[in-house]
Amino acid sequence: MTAASFSSDNGKPASSDPESRSARPNPTLKILTVEESAAAAEAAKRAQETEAAKSAANAIPEMGGARVAEPPLEPTPEFLAELQRESDALENETPQAILKWAVDRFAPKFTMATAFGPEGMTIIHMLAEIAPETPVFNLETGYQFQETLQLRETVLERYGITVEYKYPEQTVEEFEAANHGPVYLTDPNRCCFERKLRVLHQAARGWHAWASAIRRDQSEDRARAPIVGWDKKFQLVKISPLANWTKNDVWSLIMKEKIPYNPLHDQGYPSIGCQPCTRSVLPGEDERSGRWSGFQKTECGLHSS
Ligand code: SF4
């Protein structure tokens, strides 16, 4: 007794005409014995189980952020109501006052993530005056512009603040070798997930709160950001001191205080992410239109719910 498997070297389907098959036997026809067929099925099942185990091992843990801090911070209804009250009360405060509140309320469990954008540089400048000891980190995907990396050195020189790099587990070379090439070309969501989100989940463990540099007028997603709120994705209190600021507010302060900024902003790059996924924009184009140009993607996923 045999089980038959038909294959074709050129990938085209074999003829369905039985006469034709018997008259001109396909030289690539592979006849499997029942034992071979059963072994192939078993191997496929094992491969599937290995893949499932791998995904489970790589999954983002349900518990993270402030919930695994010491002491842990749980988003109880009472705590969420408190955050809402504080957010409302801070709605008309200056970014400096909001940061001061955050430091008083959450330090030393208060941190900041930055991509060295103009908003992030503005917050670093403010933190240098209010609480320079605040730990600041950057998600170093391995794909950032050299000009961006240089800003880390400038921050150290100007403010004495060392921005810590947080790296993905795999180097760019390992990541691309394991994925048959650059993942940003085919699946930027997965690339951002592996190079940014997973790293931030890890970096968020043990903190109570983090500052983000988002502005409400940057995108529809960001328009709903509270000043203070619970970040479900990273399970931290998220504080957005610049939520009510405009681009002009940010750049006015940068000019007034001579805050260092990425020189690429003077070369047509209003929003800067990783080099392969950022292009310059034309006058009149949306400021984030140079990010993931050509893809239906506007956010890396760090600030979207
Ligand atoms: S911005 Fe581009 S290169 Fe950077 S992590 Fe996302 S997809 Fe990858």
pLDDT tens track for 249-268: 999 999 999 999 999 999 99
The pTM of the full predicted model, rounded to 2 decimals, is: 0.78
Q: Is the CB of 291 under 6 A from ligand 1?
A: no
Dihedrals phi, psi of 26, to nearest 5 degrees: -70, 120
Read off the pLDDT band of 291 (50, 70, 90). Answer: confident
What is the atom index within ligand 1 of the atom nearest the CA of 184? 7
**Residue owning the nearest CA to atom 1 of ligand 1:** 274
Task: Choose the catalytic residue: 267, 300, 303, 304.
Answer: 300
> Residue 261 annotated as binding?
no
pLDDT of residue 298: 65
- With contact defined as beta carbons under 8 Å apart, do 151 and 116 qualify? yes
User: How far, in Å, from the CA of 300 to the mean position of ligand 1?
Assistant: 8
pLDDT of residue 272: 92
CATH of domain 68-277: 3.40.50.620
Q: What are the pLDDT digits (tens) for 70-111?
A: 999 999 999 999 999 999 999 999 999 999 999 999 999 999
Q: What are the pLDDT digits (tens) for 17-42?
A: 333 333 444 444 566 777 777 777 77
What residues contact 177, with CB distance under 8 A and at least 6 apart? none
300 is catalytic: yes
Instruction: Please state, in angstroms and as integers, the Cα–Cα distance from residue 91 to each residue in 2, 119, 142, 239, following that order.
Output: 75, 18, 37, 11
Domain ranges of the chain: 2-51, 68-277
Nearest to 302 by CA among 258, 227, 260, 240: 240
Q: Is the CB of 148 under 6 A from ligand 1?
A: no
Residue 49 has pLDDT above 90, yes or no: no
pLDDT of residue 303: 62
